[in-house]
Structure 1
Amino acid sequence: MVRRLRDEHPAADVRLFEEESAEPRIGELDLLFFDGRVGGEVEQTRILIDPYAVVARRGVFPPGPVPLAALDGVAMVAQPPICDQARVERVYAGAGVAPRIVFRTADNRGVLSMVRAGLGIAVLPRLALDIRPDDDVLTAHPLDPVLTPREIWLAWPANRTLSPLAERARELALGLAVDGEA
């Protein structure tokens, strides 16, 4: 979306802000992407459903789905327990599964790097996976039972008219999500 926006409007002043928050506020932002519904006076729409996968070094699990119970006691690299990660960890607890979290980072590549280094496994949304099919170290497996997928929502202020650039960014985000490219 950003690439297309920059291609169409190379002189535009596009500013991005990333914050890890359990309850984001739109404030002065034009658009907000979040993995869940946003509170406050916003309009919003779900733009993406993002299923989870177990990521491990090749050979840790046999091909195919990994039973949720197999995560009990296993060393795990995880994201901080905010946003959708908190919900995922509640699912583990509700199923009586207690992975041993050995490292946390909000950086998806950091999570994958630690799994690649053998520190543990991870459960990540597919959008966070950067694993090529010919990767000789990492594999991705479905989880059984399947976790409810993460949902990515796009929100914008309910009481403000979007600038033409912000409106175009919103259109691009919605179109790319429908096309599966977001």
Structure 2
Amino acid sequence: MTLRQIRYFIAVAETGSISAAAHAVFISQSTLTLAIQQLEQEVGVSLFSRHAKGMTLTHQGHQFLRQSHIILATVDNAKRMLQQATDEVEGQLIIGVTTLVAGYYLADLLTRFKRAYPNVEISVIEDERAYIEHLLISGEIDVAVLILSNLEDRHALQTEVLTRSPQRLWLPAQHPLLDHDSITLADVAREPLIQLNIDEMDRNAQRIWCGAGLQPRISLRTASTESVRSLVAAGLGLSIQPDMTYRPWSLEGDIIEARPLADLNQSLDVGLAWRRGTARPALVDPFLCVAREKPRA
């Protein structure tokens, strides 16, 4: 399927005849007829009903016409974005972010966006996921960068995953489990655990343990990732954490090992969310484009 075929299709749909459409797009009737036939073969349905007075759209043709206008509008918008110098783009972009994502993902994203759009003013609101979600739906912020796994009102939001962060077990150096060829959640459930209680990580952990039918031994809960690192490295417990937060040492310089769990395949999805069903603020599309440029995990 080509853009030329789509333009020819729209011309026939709007004029109601091959001859009038061919005159409108400055090609021969035979070329236009062939293009429409090839398009119908491509989509696998009849787009027109042929009769003595011309051509009328079928039900599928009406549906395809709506999508064709969207396709051409999207292409035109893409051309305009490329033709417009990014340093001429101005305005304010309000971004919502949750705490864990702010610490490990936001800085690189904002740096790349400011490099591409230096004259855009950025405001960042950091808060809990539920409040960021509320601000998105009410239109008080333009776009959010957050953990998508816990979103509640998905019908009101459009989302796009940027990173899928696998979850692994953190252990101190020389822990006995490091000698195992394979580590399972049942192995971990017998050990004292350090629970990170930030950005609803406790809810994430609860889903994991409930799904496995196991009851973990939580020895300490903290809202600090650095505390989790220090406590694990000191041998005071183990912890299951997403790879995006992993560092091989604590602030004290102690080693932290990370191992996959044989029966844990869930990832923590970090991505973008914006309000569904309304025209997006003008600066959201450039932000989405910059965010998509980074290779996804």
TM-score range, shorter chain: 0.7 to 0.9
Correspondence for 1:180: 296
Q: How far apart are the structure 2 equivalents of 1:81 and 1:101?
A: 15
Change over 3 Å in CA distance of 1:119–1:8 after alignment to 2: same
Correspondence for 2:184: 67
Greater helix share, structure number = 2
Q: Which one of the candidate residues 228, 231, 256 is aligned to 1:114?
A: 231
Q: How far apart are the structure 2 equivalents of 1:168 and 1:144?
A: 40
Q: Which one of the candidate residues 141, 144, 162 is aligned to 1:29?
A: 141
Quick check: 1:152 aligned with 2:265? Answer: no
In percent, how many aligned pairs have the same letter?
A: 20
TM-score w.r.t. the length of structure 1 is 0.80
Correspondence for 2:113: 5
CA contact (8 A) 1:88 1:147 kept: no
- Point out the structure with max Rg over C-alpha: 2
Over residues 102-149 of structure 1, what are the superposed CA-to-partner deviations in whole Å (9 max), with x where a residue is unaligned? 3323433332222223321110011111227xx861100001212321
Correspondence for 2:259: 141
Correspondence for 2:122: 14
The secondary structure found in structure 2 opposite 1:171 is helix
Q: Displacement, 1:45?
A: 1.7
Quick check: 1:58 aligned with 2:177? Answer: no
Q: Displacement, 1:153?
A: 3.2
Q: What is the RMSD computed on CA atoms of the aligned residues?
A: 2.7
Q: How many residues align?
A: 176
Q: How far apart are the structure 1 equivalents of 2:237 and 2:288?
A: 38
Correspondence for 1:46: 161
TM-score w.r.t. the length of structure 2 is 0.52
Please show how residues 163-178 of structure 1 align to structure 2 within 5 Å. 163-164=282-283, 166-176=284-294
